[in-house]
Amino acid sequence: MKLYLRHYWKDERLSFQSTNNQSMTFDSRLVKKIWVPDMFFVHSKRSFIHDMTTDNLMLRVYPYGNVLYSLRMTITAIGQAAADVMIRVKCVIISDAYTDDDLMLYWKKGNESLNTDDKISLSQFLIQKFHTTTKLAFYSSTGWYNRLYIHFTLRRHVFFFLLQTYFPATLMVMLSWVSFWIDRRAVPARVPLGITTVLTMSTIITGVNASMPRVSYIKAVDIYLWVSFVFVFLSVIEYAAVNYLTTMQERRERKLRNQVRPLFLPCTCGIANPEDMMMTTCYSDMDPSAAGTYGMPENGARQERILAQLTLADSQRTSRVKTSRGYVNVWIDIHAIDKYSRVIFPAAYMLFNIIYWSIYS
């Protein structure tokens, strides 16, 4: 930030006689010849005094030795984000060589010592409020020093981040829900959709982190992006579970069809309900007199015969047979997983947005 730092003090050695009580103004050449406070900003990352076209310094001396020393400088201060919307910046001004026994620092008009131009605006932030404080700091090797504190509270312009970060992340989460309406057997359609949304969310997270300072604490935008990434990732996991259960169900049904092959007899022969008649074939080495001849030659020898077993049952018995053989019990409603996901995922994400914006707005 750019600012004008103005010092006021009284040095009787610089007093002079004046009939009209007017001050005298000097440039930076006289500054090097008189005493000036050795002030510096604590924990500033970068600070410098502007020197275009000359050093931007001003020294004004009044008749009774009152001095006004002003300089134009730029400071890169360290701030801490209470949330991504609010950022608090603290500037600390301290003397380098003089303790509180030699030099006393204080704000001339308290909070009114800080003045900002209403026309000044920042590209990403809005100065919401600021205040000043004065404290003493003790150093064991040198003693007590006066410290002047400037506290700035900046509010970030959220609309830029809504367009560049929050809105694309929300769209990617909503796009991952499209797979819930696609047929579970359409693997080439659902798998690329899930992978694309996951990679896009990773790109958004990487881009946001590259444009922000590397800090040790968790930012509000990190919470939103990572929760959105979890929702996208869970949609991929949901289809993996659906695909696995579908494969296991088809494999079990195929195994049951291979084990039990019902064959309907071609002749009804006056049976009232021919659809209830089933014939299961099995090979048996038995006596023909025990099973009946069924038109086969009777040679009295034990030979391998085909035993045809007729099963006549009512609909209730047939239902029990099918149930006992697994036609009903093995069925798993795979469609229910997608149906529930269509409701649970949007509802959970909407609840997260309500909680998130109620906290950080």
Q: What is the mean pLDDT of residues 315-324?
A: 41
Q: What is the mean pLDDT of residues 255-266?
A: 65
- CA gap 311, 295 in Å, rounded: 20
Kindly report the pTM of this predicted structure: 0.59
pLDDT at 264: 47
CA angle, residues 217, 223, 227, in degrees to nearest 5: 145
Mean pLDDT: which of 11-15, 126-130, 322-326 is highest?
A: 11-15
Distances 58 to 27, 68, 329 between C-alpha atoms, Å: 6, 8, 92
pLDDT at 68: 92
pLDDT confidence tier of residue 198, bands split at 50, 70 and 90: very high
| 62-76, 174-188, 254-268, 292-306: least confidently modelled range | 292-306
- CA gap 223, 225 in Å, rounded: 6
Q: What is the mean pLDDT of residues 310-332?
A: 41
Domain residue limits, the chain: 1-77, 79-156, 160-255+343-360
- CA gap 29, 312 in Å, rounded: 120
Three-state secondary structure string covering 72-138 = EEEEECCEEECCCCEEEEEEEEEECCCCCCCCCCCCCCHHHHCCCCCCCCCCCEEEEEEEEEEEEEE
Mean pLDDT: which of 156-160, 191-195, 287-291 is highest?
A: 191-195
Pair 47, 78: CB distance under 8 Å? no
Q: What is the mean pLDDT of residues 165-190?
A: 91
Percentage of the residues of the chain whose pLDDT score is greater than 90: 22
Structure token pair of residue 261: 């092959």
**Best CA proximity match to 178, nearest among 186, 351, 216:** 186
Pair 33, 11: CB distance under 8 Å? no
Q: What is the pLDDT of residues 82-130, one digit of tens each?
A: 555 667 777 788 777 888 888 888 888 888 888 777 777 677 777 777 7
Peptide bond into 280 cis (omega under 30): no
Between residues 108 and 270, the one the model is more confident about: 108
Q: What is the mean pLDDT of residues 328-337?
A: 62
Between residues 332 and 223, the one the model is more confident about: 223
The DSSP bridge partners found for residue 9 are 67
pLDDT at 80: 65
pLDDT at 272: 52
Architecture of domain 79-156: Distorted Sandwich (2.70)
pLDDT at 333: 66
DSSP string, 339-358: HHHHHHHHHHHHHHHHHHHH
Q: What is the mean pLDDT of residues 129-154?
A: 84
Q: What is the pLDDT of residues 38-87, one digit of tens each?
A: 888 887 778 888 888 888 888 999 988 899 999 888 888 776 665 556 67
Between residues 259 and 318, the one the model is more confident about: 259
Q: Which fold has domain 1-77?
A: Acetylcholine Binding Protein; Chain: A, (2.70.170)
Between residues 168 and 19, the one the model is more confident about: 168
- CA gap 309, 293 in Å, rounded: 13
Sign of torsion over alpha carbons 130, 136, 138, 143: positive
pLDDT at 93: 80
Q: What is the mean pLDDT of residues 300-308?
A: 36
Q: Do domains 1-77 and 79-156 have the same CATH topology?
A: yes
| H or E element, residue 208 | helix 187-211
pLDDT at 337: 87
| 33-42, 79-88, 163-172: least confidently modelled range | 79-88
pLDDT at 161: 82
Between residues 150 and 298, the one the model is more confident about: 150
How much is the mean pLDDT over the chain? 77
Q: What is the CATH number of domain 160-255+343-360?
A: 1.20.58.390
